[in-house]
Structure 1
């Protein structure tokens, strides 16, 4: 089983090695998360050039990953992706190997997001279409901003309440959230 985590990497440097469709898709994901993306590839698609990334149009060389907080190996050459993944692993930097996910240390989940609430789904197998379908199926469950704001105010009030009132207020909030999502019974 993998460790599920959300990382705050806004402003950190990400290196994408590769210039095609997959590299562009990964670069968009990284940009959406606030990373600063640097692309290294001998040829770069127009879709990737249209993104706010820095591009070095050349082959990958050992040492290119220095200073990266996250790496994506997305070329169409397994040997290059393997070399990128090996360098990143040796440096302790999370790396996504686009050709063979099991050779990297980072997998991109399917994500559904609304008003800051994110649900990320991975299958633990090479079934991204299942992960995407599951993420889409959860979309209708995501609360809107009005509910989130109301629940946040209630939580803040509960946390500032006297200890005896706090427990009851938080339990009531939990019950209301569960009811909104159509869940019954005690939470797990």
Structure 2
């Protein structure tokens, strides 16, 4: 038999075998039922393996998702903790900054009050000397000592308020009030300048 006839022979043989198998199955229908059960069993066996593999893949995928969820949850909790710590630290720094500004203001205010009281005492001493020179003997020719400039003498006036006349006169109480108000205004301006110079945004540990 030539090689060219072998494929035709094989196809014919397989066809005859299938026809014989078909006739054999048809002769008894139970044989068809058994064959169907065998084919169904094989199909179910193959499907079971596929389902098992699919279930394993789903379990692996669910485990990976769960691990990612746990990692993201841990990062979120970490971020929440950092935000809470940052808020606590910010509140602490705010309180410390408020205390620092208040301490600087108290220190400046104490210095302003001290300077005001010292300047007022010195001014009242000078005023008293000036008033004595203006009302004592020789008030019209008050001379300084050691080249220190002195205020001109005041004319003698009775006690009371300023009254209208050819020349305005000022008693000691009014002169003291003017001196006090002037110094008070000057030191209020100083206090305001000191308050404006306080840096409210500087950290408490920074050098002033």
Q: TM-score range by the shorter chain?
A: under 0.3
Higher relative contact order (CA 8 A, sep 6+): 2
Q: TM-score, normalised by structure 2?
A: 0.15
Which structure has greater helix proportion?
2
Structure showing greater radius of gyration is: 2
Q: TM-score, normalised by structure 1?
A: 0.16
Which structure has greater strand proportion?
1
